[in-house]
Structure 1
């Protein structure tokens, strides 16, 4: 099958949608399909062979964040050329309601279109206001996918229609097989059989964020956070506010932070003695992200809103990291209502600190969460998610073929892109 996938956001700025599209494309390629991805990208951005650049993106405030989108007459010409050259059996558009390549592709293309909706925003006035403009394009969609029940709800309430829920996918084995880096290992889960003593970790002292052992050769308790550190909705300020209370009970604890942003600003509100317990790792590769998640005692997701799924939670569970997350609706669903990870009241730094301290005192509970998470994430593996998405493709392609006449034009004409 020839499959075209449209990415709305800049390929060179990492995000959950881009990762999902990348992993989906590579999964489909491994299955023997021909795949091309159209995405905004700067000229100097190195791209995989299956990605076609639609040109430079511009930053636009979107859904509580800043998205780098691509729109306009030049972009429309590039979309038209890509569709013309691709001769696709199925077009898969991500975020077709966003002012970017997906909406342009929806306007231009004719034929089987599958759309995936990622956004969860129950009060989007912009989406409601834009509905008359979006409606003609959205009516061309053959099948709709939502990455969560909350993304589906946003679609239904703002744009009408419905969607099948297929979650974001993760290569579970990639994270499970990662070898943790010794300097990132936490002492609660990774210091051998002696870690089972209740309260044994809280006695670690004399470690100021270093990777060496604490008292009695123990490594310090280690928390992890991955995300854009200067984007408020990712919640790092909430975690920073909770850190002094965590250190009051676990004096040797450290926080490993991976992601881009202003590191000095991130710790500006912390007492000087606390800042030394925070280690900024900057942007990390996929391999190092997996190694980091494999090594921490507790992964903390303090996000404050705007999340429709929570792919980082699935990645953490895949790597064996116990998860503590804010009680966003999407996070609660991903964590199986608290069965696969613990939940605290969103934006409540005191509640975060209490939960983290309780978990770090209880290695048995951390191991239980690790085991439950490892079982739970199997449903998010690409072997399952990819098969579900491919089934949607086949359904819409077969449906398009069944209504065509025996003497129908070729694929190019079916897409409205016949050569002159």
Structure 2
């Protein structure tokens, strides 16, 4: 099958949607499908052979964050050229309602279109206001996927229609088989995310850290991600700042090693999350996970059976839960075992098969319609040649 996948966000800026698209493309390629991904990318960005650049992206406030999107006449021309050259059996557009390549592709594409909705935002006035503009494009979509029940709810409430829920995928064994790094082990908490994006919750973790250190004097915090490191620790007492080790941007391999090494992985995100791929990666690595009790996070963690939850944006609740886990290796081992079993449902072997089933449904439907259109109208209406 020839599959075209459209990524709305800049390929060179790490994010859950980009990782999902990358892993989906590589999973499909391993299965023997021909895949091309269209994505915004700066000229100097090294790209995998299956990615086609649609040009430089610009930062735009979107869903409580700043997304790097690509929109305009030049982008539209590149979309049309990619569609023309690709002759795809199916187009898979991610975030078709965002002002980026997804919407442009929806307008320009012909044939079967599958759309995946990642956003969870129950109070999006912008999405409601934009509906009249979006409607003609969205009506061309053959099948809709939502990565969680919360993303599905946003779609239903703002844009109408419905979607099948297929979660983000992860290569479970890649994380499960990573080698721990001894330098990152031993009474350690871990955090991975954009340091200077407030909704990722690092300020909440920093506010909780002094109370954690008071109860667990030898604890360290390992932080991986881009952002202003000095600003991140500015709220901490000077004597505690050396307990926070910034690792900068890490490779996929080092991310897996980090998650395999820490005693507790902390996800203090404050909102705007429709899924939580980092939780799935942490569970795959066997980490004991402590996360804010966002609805999407609670669903990924099986309502607290596969990981501990604390009250969102409550530093005291986070500190209490972290101290309890650091002091209780048996509880950490229990969470690790439960999480490792629970996370198998998110493996690409399952998620990829579900997405392929959607592709096959829409392409079979399109083929049936095309075949029907080739039958003379008199025959379709039940008239004989002599009637």
Q: Deviations over 1:368-411 (max 9, x none)?
A: 00000000000000000000000000000000000113786xxx
- 1:215 aligns to what? none
Aligned to 2:9: 9
Matches within 5 A, 1:225-236: 225-236=191-202
Tell me which residue corresponds to 2:379: none
Per the TM alignment, residue 24 of structure 1 is displaced from its structure 2 partner at its CA by 0.1
Aligned to 1:303: 269
Which of the numbers 313, 316, 319 marks the counterpart of 1:347? 313
The alpha carbon displacement at 1:181 in A equals 1.2
Give distance in 2, aligned partners of 1:265 and 1:51.
35
Instruction: Assess, with a 3 A threshold, how the Cα gap between structure 1 residues 406 and 141 changes in structure 2: closer, same or farther.
Output: closer
Q: How does 1:19-418 map to 2 (within 5 A)?
A: 19-186=19-186, 221-405=187-371
Q: How many angstroms apart in 2 are the aligned matches of 1:112 and 1:34? A: 16
Deviation at residue 229 of structure 1 after TM alignment? 0.4
Please report how far the alpha carbon of residue 110 of structure 1 lies from its aligned counterpart in structure 2 after TM superposition: 1.2
SS of residue in 2 equivalent to 1:396: helix
Q: How big is each residue's C-alpha offset from its partner over 1:156-181, in whole Å with a ceiling of 9 and x where there is no partner?
A: 00000000000000000000010011
The TM-score with structure 2 as length reference comes to: 0.96
Per-residue Cα deviation, 1:256-307 (whole angstroms, up to 9, x for no partner): 0000000000000100111011000000000000000000000000000000
Structure 1 stretches of 4+ with a deviation exceeding 6 A read none
Inter-partner Cα distance in structure 1 for 2:40 and 2:160:
28
**Cα RMSD for the two superposed structures:** 0.7
Equivalents in 1 of 2:233, 2:327: separation in Å? 25
* Deviation digits for residues 132-175 of structure 1 (CA, Å, limit 9, x no counterpart): 00000000000000000000000000000000000000000000
| 2:236 partner SS | coil
- TM-score, normalization by structure 1: 0.88
Rounded to whole Å, the distance in 2 between the matches of 1:361 and 1:286 is 29
State the Cα distance separating 1:361 from its structure 2 match.
1.1
- Distance (Å, rounded) in 2 between the aligned partners of 1:294 and 1:362: 18
Comparing 380-389 with 177-186, greater Cα deviation is found at 177-186
CA distance in structure 1 between the partners assigned to 2:168 and 2:372 by the alignment = 38
Q: Which secondary structure state, in structure 2, belongs to the residue aligned with residue 5 of structure 1?
A: strand
SS of the residue corresponding to residue 49 of structure 1 reads coil
Task: Kindly state the Cα deviation for residue 26 of structure 1 after the two structures are TM-superposed.
Answer: 0.1
SS across alignment from 2:265? strand
Is there any run of 5+ residues in structure 1 with no aligned partner, and where? 187-220, 409-420
SS state at 2:344 partner: helix
Structure 2's unaligned 5+ residue stretches are 375-387
The 2-side partners of 1:97 and 1:312 are apart by: 24
Question: Helix, strand or coil for the counterpart of 1:252?
Answer: coil
Give the drift of 1:52.
0.1
Q: Provide the C-alpha distance between the structure 1 equivalents of 2:129 and 2:338, rounded to a whole number of angstroms.
A: 43
State how far apart, in whole Å, the 2-side matches of 1:287 and 1:358 are: 29
